[in-house]
Structure 1
Amino acid sequence: MKTLILRTSFWFLLFFVLIFCGCSEQMKKTELVLVRNDGTTETLSVELALTPEEQAHGYMERKKIPAGTGMLFVFQYDQRASFWMKNTPTPLSIAYIDSTGTIRDIFNMKPFSLEAINSTVSVRYALEVPQGWFAENNITPGDKIQIPKL
């Protein structure tokens, strides 16, 4: 009987530890300011994808992305980046951004597509937003982001 109680207690405790740990793994968030060439700005509330795990998961399985939000992927070093839309049901636009904060490319991406969307140059950041957000807000290649302090 004692063994059964200990075993049950162990599994009960393990269950709550795993649940608690899962809740604490939310991505960090910050406000990101985008600056157009004419000096006007737009602000987005972004989740920060900092770890390889966060970057691999991205917006997978998210059915809705609220207006005015996005996800900023921060790479450890400048690199050619490549994204796809596997298991991602929401249409997205992506901006590839170099280490100076300059937007170099903007592409639209199709839900669930396995097509690789590659940056044309080495970049330090990628910014995903609901599809059409860049066009609706007149954000184009050459515009900049104010690089957040991490």
Structure 2
Amino acid sequence: MSKLFPGLVASLLLWSGMAWAACQQDRIDIKNDSAQIRFNIELAITPQERSRGLMFRESLPNRSGMLFVFDPPQPVVFWMKNTLIPLDIIFLDRVGVVTRVHQGAIPGDLTPIEGGDSVFAVLEINAGLAARYAIQPGTVMRHEIFSSGPAIWSC
């Protein structure tokens, strides 16, 4: 059959590969009216992983970040103790919609950064990238943890 329909077989293989690549554990896709961008991420799911976060790191590659998961959603507060990199901190709800953005968190600052009462996930990225990509409340993110994400852009 592949001799009769080589284009069809190639298209199906390409499509299935793209569908698989759409959601991967080490990537998050971000979309709003101004941009659609992909970040490579590390997950912080356990209390120990969330507690350590990006502490003691001297750099963070461009378009990389850490995604903290809080299941069930809960009030969260971040600070920059032992964090050496200026960060943008993005708070998300259960479906992957940005609810709050704190831009330019200062390394070493112990001032609490509140995320709200029902935070499901937090994405930390290099400072300045939230503004560059217009990440603000209402921006949508796609990752497998947002299992009930917006139907038009779910995994």
Flag whether TM exceeds 0.5 (same fold). yes
Percent identity of paired positions between Structure 1 and Structure 2: 34
1:55 to 50, 53, 57: 50
Q: What TM-score, normalized by structure 1, do the two folds share? A: 0.76
1:69 lines up with 2:64 in the alignment: yes
Q: Which runs of 4+ in 1 moved over 6 A?
A: none
Q: Is the 8 A contact 1:104 1:121 kept in 2?
A: no
Structure showing greater radius of gyration is 1
1:8 counterpart residue number? none
Aligned length, in residue pairs: 122
Answer whether contact 1:90 1:130 (CA < 8 A) is retained.
yes
**Equivalent position of 1:24 in the other structure:** none
Contact 2:40 2:64 in 1 (8 A): yes
CA displacement, residues 86-117 of structure 1 (integer Å, 9 cap, x when unaligned): 00111001000000111000002110001110
**DSSP 3-state at the match of 1:99:** coil
Structure 1 portions without partners, runs of 5+: 1-28
2:124 paired residue number: 128
Structure 2's unaligned 5+ residue stretches are 1-24, 147-155
The match for 1:146 is 142
SS of structure 2 residue aligned to 1:65:
coil
Deviation at 1:123, TM superposition (A): 1.1
**Cα RMSD (Å) of the superposition?**
1.8
